Amino acid sequence: MITLNVNGVAHTLDIDPAMPLLYALRNHLSLNGAKYGCGLGQCGACTVIVGDTAVVSCLLPSGAVGDRKVRTIEGLGTAEKPGRLQKGFMDKQAAQCGYCIAGMIMRAQALLDRTPGATEAQIRAELEPNLCRCGTHMRIVAAIVAAAAATPIAHAGEAVDDAA
């Protein structure tokens, strides 16, 4: 048995600790935002945030998560109230097939959590591990730049509401 704290909810799962986090999220918690892409950590479709770091969940054993909190695309917003990045992607029509989008958004969220108001150069460097086979990188970057410009900067001890 392992316990995973995903999107603020603790889940105790009877799974092999060696099971990739991606499979635990998709097959045991029905959180299907993170996608299976290459299974080699080379495409970024399965990117989630563990602790404060964007990770490829296809390579991370569930047992290695430990006490760190896991955030998935489902934890950023809802269809009715999308998160700032989700809204930016919709506004800029950044998705074509959409397969890579959850991973792109989660990697961008980790960047904006660390660096509110990130520059376009920082965004491009951060997204380097994530691939979009449809070629919508320019709209993806534009969506993140817009979200970064609208990201409030937290002051010590204050929480930031990420919802737009």
Render 65-122 in DSSP notation, one character per residue.
-TT-EEE-GGGT--SSS-BHHHHHHHHTT--SS-TTHHHHHHHHHHHHHHSTT--HHH
2-150 to CATH, choices 3.10.20.30, 3.20.20.140, 1.20.1640.10, 3.40.47.10: 3.10.20.30
Distance CA 108, CA 127 (A): 7
Amino acid at position 58, single letter: C
Domain-wise residue ranges, the chain: 2-150
Distance CA 152, CA 146 (A): 12
Whether residue 155 is predicted with pLDDT greater than 70 in this model: the reply is: no
The confidence band for 134, taking pLDDT boundaries of 50, 70 and 90, is confident
Q: Rounded to a whole number, what is the largest CA-CA distance in the chain? A: 43
Distance CA 52, CA 19 (A): 21
Q: What is the pLDDT of residues 57-82, one digit of tens each?
A: 999 999 999 999 999 999 999 999 99
Give the per-residue pLDDT at 164.
43
Length in residues, the chain: 164
Give the per-residue pLDDT at 158.
53
Q: Which two tokens stand for residue 156?
A: 């010590």
